[in-house]
Amino acid sequence: MKKGLMLVLLVFLTFLLSFAPNLFAEEGVTDTQIHLGQWGPQTGPAAAWGNVARGTGDYFKWINDNGGINGRKIVYHMFDDGYNPAKTKAGVKELQEGTGMFAWACGVGTSPGLAVRDYLAERNIPWVGPAAGSMHWVNPPQKNLFAVYPLYMGEAKALVKYAIEKMGKKRIAIAYLNDEYGKNGLRGALAELKAHGMEAVEQVSMEAKDSDLKPHVMKLRKSKADMVLMWTTVGHSARIVGISKAMQFAPQFMSTSTTSDFPLMMNITKGLWEGVITATLGELPGSGYPLLDKYKKEVFDKYAAKEERWGVFYYAGIIFTEPMIEGLKRAGRNLTRESFIAAMESIKGFKGIGPEVNFKPYDKNDMYSRQGASQTFLVQCLANGRAKQLTEWMDIK
Amino acid sequence: MDMKRDYYEDVQLMSSPVVIFWFTALIGVLYFFPLFVGSYYVYVANYIAINIIVVTGLNLLVGYTGQISLGHAGFFAIGAYGTVILMAKAGFPFLLALPCAAMVAAGFGFLLGLPALRLEGPYLAIATLGFGLTITQIIGRIELFGGRDGLHAPDITIGSWVLDTDKEFYYLLITLTILLLFFMRNLIKTKVGRAFIAIRDADIAAQTMGVNILYYKTLAFAVSAFYAGIAGGLYAFVLKFIEPEIFTLLMSIMFLAMVVVGGLGSMLGSIAGATLLCWLDLKLRNILDIPYIGDWLENLSKHWFSITGVSNIQYIVFGSIMVAIVLFEPLGLYGIWIRTKKYWRTWPF
């Protein structure tokens, strides 16, 4: 009887042990795999940003083909949300509760991100590198959310500072989109002007759907601005530059990092983007930065679809996820959400192809405990669509 | 088979005890549903229920009264913003804020109904389209409404009940949906409903018979907008965040597509149309996971339909299903249901 009981216990224990790695493993992590998710608009109004998610996918393929992370391969689950927050939330919940994601990467757009922010926070599911420089991610900071995109406010400050101190500009006007993105740029610019004892000579707001920008440019021209800072969409910025040229209004134009894809901008503006100064998200193509060249050769050339373009949006998908890969490496073989968050918090002075990334232990009163990147550098568009570097990386807190 | 033999048979809400039995069983299943499924399916059910409300209202306008609207996303937005602002800024409780916001939407519906007295067909479509686009532009420019930054929906509390999960919200939503469907069914069966149908079939004849066109056309717009307002108010709490860009023209078109695919002038059609199209919209991307067929479709998409190598085949399948339904069954899903019922009526003999 005793022997029989022992045999049953032994079989039961063996059965339990055979499942041990799975019984105690974290959601989305197995012995050989880590499941990571991302939403990205492949269709709909923001489809132009779809290459962020594709860039991440190709980067993960490269990581896997180079041995994975601590013996595990990344299983990447990307879905198209069409920039519709209801679909973002449905897709995130489906993957999270169906397959089980360990963490989420990037995710284009403020409103799609806000639709799932609380859901991820309530479950303490890590989310690294939302692809929008919104204050919503870090104000207030959340334990599970690590932002990599530099804040728009800081970028605007850096541009205005350069215009005043290095270029001696005295009359600065601002054209901005009437949304959170545009207003953050406006706030940063006004703060920097105030710090120099100046005021904007004109502030012109526009809606995303505005197509006739002549009245806006007329106001800018009337202000006799010698520098115009544009915090608008790619299309709006191109139109402002074009209409200004037609009106023989030729200030120094400056713009956000979202318009720093110079070949694209030169193409849209038929060469009028030459001379425009922008902030940047990361190292520049053709700058000779070794890691960027390596990604071009080993990631883009090898994995990207043949119609894909090696541009800022594509490799932004790498910039936003490099710190995540670093965190996964540091968390080691015993990968749990807690160990991953602790590893992310230990990242100091990390340099990939984007700005330097620094995180700190979670502090609900310090947004920089979760705002990892606070650097940019300024570039000017040349006639051939290449970029001339104007400054080194500078802190923009 | 749906022939009515006397007046009382025509106006009764449930046609037989069998219908009452199945209806009660369905309500029971709906209330127990969240106990057996994960939070994702509850979210999907919430999403579908909200669309059922708005499509039921739109079907009253399009299917029963013969008008058209391409601006229902505008009423939806008014409901969403109205509810959130009344709660967050004026301190209204949710159960008061929701109908108040819907009444504001109904007020706008009434105003939009006035030009409908002189417009019809494509002209009315353009007028309503303009309304839908304008409303989001106006909301985006008003700071009180959060401008383009949008607004966060506050937590819902009803007495001591805090509805902070999808499952808790589901019970409130499903109750409201059932009540609104009942109300609509009742409305259709009254003289008001018959006046709507008379206007749809021949408005001049209806007027000759004493139907007040001014009153009933504007009423149809107001009731339809009220439903859209209620649905919008609920939608804000499903997403927990709203901004003007959410309420697009595409949203209005999808509402109209749900009405047509479901079946014009049918409540069952509204429910079926909203359920099918919402389900396909959320789930069709999983078509790529089907063995062999998924791979074949993905290759087809990459080769012919996508310049970036990412599949978008689900939208082509989605569109094809809608075209096929409208082409082969002009009465929509309701027509398919009627035919199925007829086919099985004499079974097993």
Q: What is the pLDDT of residues B196-238, one digit of tens each?
A: 999 999 889 999 988 898 899 999 999 999 999 999 999 999 9
pLDDT higher than threshold 70 for residue B3: no
Q: Which residues of A touch B47 (CB under 8 A)?
A: 86, 90
Nearest to A180 among B149, B282, B302 (CB): B149
Instruction: Return the higher-pLDDT residue of B235 and A395.
Output: B235
Question: Residues of A364-378 as b/e, b for ≥16 C-beta within 10 angstroms?
Answer: eeebbbbbbbbbbbb
In one-letter notation, the amino acid at residue A87 is K
Kindly tell me the sign of the dihedral angle through the C-alpha atoms of A88, A362, A122, B82: negative
pLDDT grade for B349, boundaries at 50, 70 and 90: low
- CA distance to partner chain B, nearest, from residue A48 (Å): 11
Q: Are B217 and B196 in contact (CB under 8 A)?
A: no
Q: What is the pLDDT of residues B124-174, one digit of tens each?
A: 889 999 999 899 889 888 888 887 778 889 989 888 888 888 899 999 999
Report the Cα B6 to chain-centroid distance in Å: 31
Beta-carbon separation of B137 and A207 below 8 A: yes
Q: Quick one: tokens of A37?
A: 């998710």
- CA distance to partner chain B, nearest, from residue A181 (Å): 8
Nearest to A50 among B152, B248, B308 (CB): B308
pLDDT higher than threshold 50 for residue A19: no
Instruction: Return the higher-pLDDT residue of B13 and B319.
Output: B319
pLDDT higher than threshold 80 for residue A252: yes
Rounded-to-integer distance, Cα A220 and Cα A253, Å: 12
Q: What is the 3-state secondary structure (H, E, C) of B154-223?
A: CCEEECCEEECCHHHHHHHHHHHHHHHHHHHHHHHHCHHHHHHHHHHHCHHHHHHCCCCHHHHHHHHHHH
Kindly give the pairing relationship between strand A375-376 and strand A394-395.
Answer: antiparallel
Instruction: Return the higher-pLDDT residue of B252 and A12.
Output: B252
Bond before B348 cis per omega within 30 degrees: yes
pLDDT grade for B278, boundaries at 50, 70 and 90: very high
Beta-carbon separation of B241 and A115 below 8 A: yes
**A340 CB neighbour count, 10 Å cutoff:** 25
Q: Quick one: tokens of B83?
A: 């509810």
Mean pLDDT, residues A101-117 = 90
Q: What pLDDT is recorded for position A21?
A: 41
Q: Which residues of B touch A42 (CB under 8 A)?
A: 308, 310, 312
Instruction: Return the higher-pLDDT residue of A374 and B82.
Output: B82
pLDDT grade for A9, boundaries at 50, 70 and 90: low
Which chain B residue shows the shortest CA-CA distance from A209? Answer: B137
Q: Mutate which of A51, A94, A119, A303 to disrupt the B interface (most B C-beta within 10 Å)?
A: A94
The proportion of chain A whose per-residue pLDDT surpasses 90, expressed as a percent, equals: 62
Q: Mutate which of A39, A184, A207, A309 to disrupt the B interface (most B C-beta within 10 Å)?
A: A207
Question: In degrees rounded to 5, what are phi and psi of residue A253?
Answer: -90, 140
Rounded-to-integer distance, Cα A10 and Cα A178, Å: 68
Element (H, E) at B326: helix B313-328
**B347 CB neighbour count, 10 Å cutoff:** 6
Binding-site residues on chain A for chain B (CB distance < 8 A): 42-43, 45, 50-51, 54, 79-80, 84-87, 89-91, 93-94, 96-98, 110-111, 114-115, 118, 177-180, 182-183, 207-209, 304-308
ipTM confidence: 0.78
Q: Which residues of A touch B43 (CB under 8 A)?
A: 89-90, 93
Q: What is the pLDDT of residues B241-274, one digit of tens each?
A: 898 888 988 899 999 999 999 999 999 999 999 9
Instruction: Return the higher-pLDDT residue of B174 and B346.
Output: B174
Which chain A residue shows the shortest CA-CA distance from B165? Answer: A119
Rounded-to-integer distance, Cα A200 and Cα A190, Å: 7
Rounded-to-integer distance, Cα A322 and Cα A354, Å: 9
**A107 CB neighbour count, 10 Å cutoff:** 27
Highest mean pLDDT (candidates A26-30, A255-259, B232-236, B247-251): B232-236
Considering chain A, what is the average pLDDT of its residues? 88
Q: What pLDDT is recorded for position A22?
A: 43
Q: Which residues of A touch B312 (CB under 8 A)?
A: 42-43, 80
Which chain A residue shows the shortest CA-CA distance from B50? Answer: A86
Nearest to A90 among B141, B282, B309 (CB): B282
Instruction: Return the higher-pLDDT residue of A308 and A18.
Output: A308
For tokens 């230990």, name the residue: A346
pLDDT grade for B301, boundaries at 50, 70 and 90: confident
Q: Mutate which of B148, B163, B313 to disrupt the A interface (most A C-beta within 10 Å)?
A: B148
pLDDT grade for A151, boundaries at 50, 70 and 90: confident
Residues 6+ apart with CB under 8 A from A271: A383
Q: Which residues of A touch B152 (CB under 8 A)?
A: 114
Q: Mutate which of B40, B143, B166 to disrupt the A interface (most A C-beta within 10 Å)?
A: B40
Nearest alpha-carbon partner for B111 in B99, B126, B127: B127
Q: What pLDDT is recorded for position A334?
A: 92
